[in-house]
Structure 1
Amino acid sequence: MSEVQQAFEAVVTQIEHDPAFADIEVVTHSIGRRGAGLALTLTIDRVGGVDIGSCERVAAHVNDALESCPEPYSLEVESAGLERPLLRPGDYQRFAGKNARIVTTLAIGGAKTHRGALRGVVGTNVELHTPSGTLPIPLAAIRSANLEYDPRADLAANKRERKRNG
């Protein structure tokens, strides 16, 4: 592992545990090759959404940590987005009530792709409320999962919020 790769892994771990970045969640990070250098990608999330300032703050911190590394690299800090991936059991709890798409490694209820509202984690299963009822999906059987953005539901929630706040 190169000096840049080691330093990048160390700074990602530091961001995950540093109180100064308590508002930032590292969703994923990756190291690849781009031309003669390395391509470093850090995908982040934040309650209330990621803005340019969040990305700039994280990028500045990473660049400072890698400043002494001689190997060329490019750094991209990006938002996980509205349809962010769900990677950890805690993600399914945190986003309970939100719509999600889950792809499984084996057919469950006759299908490998499931859409519905997350209900959270019960034991070793993610519970997904679908039009045909609540479907338990074993965590071990999940190939991929992500939130599904529904603009109509978002619009309705914003209207309710405006009414509540007068």
Structure 2
Amino acid sequence: METKAIVKKVEELVEPIVRTLGLELVEVQFRRERPGWVLRLLIDKEGGVNLEDCVQVSEVVGDILDAEDPIPHAYNLEVSSPGLERPLVKEKDYQRFAGRKARITTRQPLAGRRNFTGIILGIEDGLISLRLSEGQQVEIPFSLVEKAHLKFDFK
């Protein structure tokens, strides 16, 4: 089974469970790393997650994954917070984090560039509005986003 299909299946299985625990499933990652395959679940909630949240999700989700067995080989399950530079994965993330600084990389160039850093103004009709550091405003189609995350200002 292809990794994208595994991620999709795991999201379908896990998202309702995580939601019933009062948490948000931010992202599911499945990739080969040094020790082997890793299934990483990034979870969040208003005010941030703590160790108990991660342990609870790991235990409940681990049991479900053992029962459903959507991954045909060995892997390690990791559950963690998305961190200060949280990935922006869903369209609703751009509404929730309006007013915050973000970095967005597109699949193909827009106006001659693929990397944009600025303040999120919101999203409407699939277009992300971003006020760039240079002052101009751009609209980036959500469908062209390859990768995006919040930028924490360490100043």
Q: Which TM-score tier does this pair reach, normalised by the shorter chain?
A: 0.7 to 0.9
Amino acid at match of 1:87: V
| Residue 89 to residue 66, structure 1, CA distance change in 2 (3 Å) | closer
Amino acid at match of 1:146: H
Match of 1:53 in 2: 52
Deviation at 1:147, TM superposition (A): 0.6
| Residue 47 to residue 110, structure 1, CA distance change in 2 (3 Å) | same
Deviation at 1:148, TM superposition (A): 0.4
**TM-score of the superposition, structure 1-length normalised?**
0.71
Match of 2:151 in 1: 148
| Residue 109 to residue 41, structure 1, CA distance change in 2 (3 Å) | same
Out of 89, 95, 99, the residue aligned to residue 97 of structure 2 is: 95
- Considering fraction of residues, name the structure with more helix: 1
In the TM superposition, what whole-angstrom CA distance separates every residue of 1:36-74 from its partner, at most 9, and x where no partner exists?
x864321212221121111011011123334556x7543
2:40 matched to 1:44? no
2:133 matched to 1:134? no
SS of the equivalent of 2:109 reads strand
Deviation at 1:13, TM superposition (A): 3.3
**TM-score of the superposition, structure 2-length normalised?**
0.75
Amino acid at match of 1:53: E
Report which of the two structures shows the higher radius of gyration computed on alpha carbons.
1
- After superposition, the CA RMSD in angstroms is 3.1
| Residue 132 to residue 81, structure 1, CA distance change in 2 (3 Å) | same
Where structure 2 has 5 or more consecutive residues not aligned to the other structure, the ranges are none
Deviation at 1:127, TM superposition (A): 0.2
> Aligned pairs, how many?
146
- Taking the aligned partners of 2:151 and 2:63, their CA distance within structure 1 comes to 35
Match of 1:84 in 2: 86
